[in-house]
Structure 1
Amino acid sequence: MTREPRLPRALTALPAPVRWLALPVALACTVVVLVGAWGSDDGKIEVPSPSGKAAEYCRALAAALPQDLLGHARKDPSPASPYVAVWDSSPRTVMRCGVDRPEELDGEHATDLSPAVDDVTWWSQKLDDGGYRFVTTMRAAYVELTVPSGAAKNPFDPATLLSPLVRDNVPG
């Protein structure tokens, strides 16, 4: 003899149409939450606000940046800013020009090894997600490049490709 599954007492007290809709509504809400979590995070990019000569150098750098970086098309966030460039690689590579000097460059990190490419020195920091953040040093404006894990075969490749553009547009 098979037994019919019994509904919890709280559900049996509800009218039948409410019971019938409870599961589809719960599923729809779950889908909305998941889609929202997977959505674009363009709003999470903090746009720097350099002034004076630094702003001029950053605008010149922005005009020189490639539309393609390591096979990934440039897809800047909206609204566009001359201080932010994004290459859509899922995860995406983000360059920000005119950022503040990183606090990490003081203290124990002041003597960290910083590789130089085409006369541009990049301080590097490994991120929690396995990617890297590179920041130029000894330039008239700080340029930050965030390369998440998986965005490039070698995380330093984007910095290597962008170094000549930084050198030519942001004096040291």
Structure 2
Amino acid sequence: MAREPRVPRFLAALPAPVRWLALPLALSCTVVVLLGSWGAPAKIEVPTPTGRAATYCQALAAALPQELLGHARKDPSPASPYVAAWASSPRVVLRCGVERPEQLNGEHAKDISPTIDGVTWWSEKLDDGGYRLTTTLRGANVELTVPGGSFANPLDPVAALNGLVKANVP
């Protein structure tokens, strides 16, 4: 003898067509909420260097690796020789030819910045716990954004790319 499935009391009070649609509707709403929460990746502003800075940035772009510390390169669209990104979830972004950070003209001008093998990086702590590091005293400003949680040490990507920056952006 087949046993009839039990219907929870709150569903039993509803008309049959509503009960039949309750589960598919709940699943559909869950999928919509999940897809909506992922959202589109943040838009990356593409710098527009000119003159020698543009030449240095193009040389750097040609030298950048397809993999950074085990993370594949996934540049944003549309492609630009001034922006590179690696899928480290969240992704690490390098922008070449950016403007000098405003903070360097104010009270932070005398802050101590790490120098790695002759390249000085000014660091700025981000709201997500990551860092934005920008080279100083170079032919073009190179900015590396390392979001919180992408690497155990936010200077790891800087150290990995430092030699390429030094060789291509005097």
TM-score (norm: length of structure 2): 0.83
Cα-Cα RMSD: 2.4
Tell me whether 86-95 or 24-33 shows the greater mean CA deviation. Answer: 24-33
Residue 24 and residue 62 in structure 1: after superposition, are their counterparts in 2 closer, same or farther (change >3 A)? Answer: same
Change (3 A) 1:19 1:105: farther
Amino acid at match of 1:38: W
Aligned to 1:84: 83
For structure 2, the residue ranges without an aligned partner over 5 or more in a row are 1-8
Q: After the TM superposition, which parts of structure 1 deviate over 2 Å for at least 4 consecutive aligned residues?
A: 4-7, 15-34
Partner of 1:105: 104
Offset of residue 137 of structure 1 = 0.5
CA contact (8 A) 2:120 2:137 kept: yes
Identity of counterpart residues, as a percentage?
A: 70
- Partner-residue secondary structure (3-state), 2:100: coil
Counterparts of 2:128 and 2:108, CA distance in 1: 20
The 10-residue stretch of structure 1 (52-61 or 16-25) with the greater mean CA deviation from structure 2: 16-25
Q: Which amino acid aligns with 2:151?
A: A
Structure 2 counterparts to residues 104-123 of structure 1, below 5 A: 104-123=103-122
1:55 to 2:54 alignment? yes
After superposition, give the CA deviation of every residue in 1:89-121 in whole Å (9 maximum; x if it has no partner): 111111111111111112111111111112110
- Following TM superposition, by how much is the alpha carbon of 1:32 offset from its aligned partner in structure 2, in angstroms? 2.3
AA aligned to 2:101 is P
May I ask how many residue pairs the two structures share in their alignment?
163
The gaps in structure 1 that reach 5 residues or longer are: none
Q: Please give the TM-score of this superposition, normalised by the length of structure 1.
A: 0.82
